[in-house]
């Protein structure tokens, strides 16, 4: 049976997984970062997700993307049900929240970060969520800190 499921298409494999999860009274959360509306696999995923919802499966879908990519995906006729989905537009993040996030991230690691670096990062980020992700990643990767 397992070989059959592994060779089956994506939807069949997902149905088998959802059947197993339902035995545990659990569901599945799909998360998509950086929506790419021209990606056929994304349209297929969203269309299949809609079928799971219609079937009463315990599923949820969380997607993030730049506004122009989100708009392009919503215009696709095969995923029109997404137009009824709850959307949240991220606005500016307060400087104190960015500062706290950076400090907390480093505090829960073996790395350290200087106050000067935090101040500069908060300035550069300027409240933009994408910049927080990018600058935070770069600061972390470069190992900028107290050393």
User: What is the value of pTM for the model shown?
Assistant: 0.66
Confidence at residue 4, expressed as pLDDT on a 0 to 100 scale: 57
Confidence at residue 62, expressed as pLDDT on a 0 to 100 scale: 92
CB-facing half-sphere around the CA of 125: CA atoms within 13 A: 30
Nearest Cα residue to 50 out of 76, 89, 22: 76
Confidence at residue 85, expressed as pLDDT on a 0 to 100 scale: 85
Confidence at residue 1, expressed as pLDDT on a 0 to 100 scale: 53
Q: List the pLDDT tens digit at each of the 147 positions of the chain.
A: 555 555 678 888 999 999 999 999 999 999 998 888 888 888 888 888 999 999 999 999 999 888 888 888 888 888 888 888 888 888 899 999 999 999 999 998 888 889 999 999 999 999 998 899 899 999 888 765 444
C-alpha–C-alpha distance, residues 84 and 50, integer Å? 12
How far is residue 122 from each of residues 83, 89, 107, 113, 136, measured CA to CA in Å?
34, 21, 17, 13, 10
Burial 55-82 (b: 16+ CB within 10 A, else e): eebebebebbbeeebbeebeeeeebeeb
In the chain, where the domains are located: 2-84, 95-142
R_g over Cα of the chain: 20
């Amino acid at each position: 049976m397992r070989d059959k499921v592994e060779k089956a298409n994506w939807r069949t494999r997902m149905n088998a997984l959802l059947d197993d999860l339902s035995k545990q009274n659990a569901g599945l959360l799909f998360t998509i970062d950086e929506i790419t509306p021209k990606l056929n696999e994304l349209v297929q995923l969203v269309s299949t997700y809609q079928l799971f919802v219609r079937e009463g499966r315990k599923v949820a879908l969380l997607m993030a993307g730049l506004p122009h990519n989100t708009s392009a995906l919503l215009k696709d006729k095969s995923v029109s049900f997404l137009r009824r989905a709850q959307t949240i537009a991220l606005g500016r993040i307060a400087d104190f929240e960015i500062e706290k996030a950076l400090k907390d991230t480093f505090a829960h690691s073996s790395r350290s970060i200087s106050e000067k670096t935090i101040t500069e990062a908060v300035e550069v980020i300027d409240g933009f969520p994408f910049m927080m992700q990018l600058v935070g990643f770069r600061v972390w990767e470069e190992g900028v800190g107290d050393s």
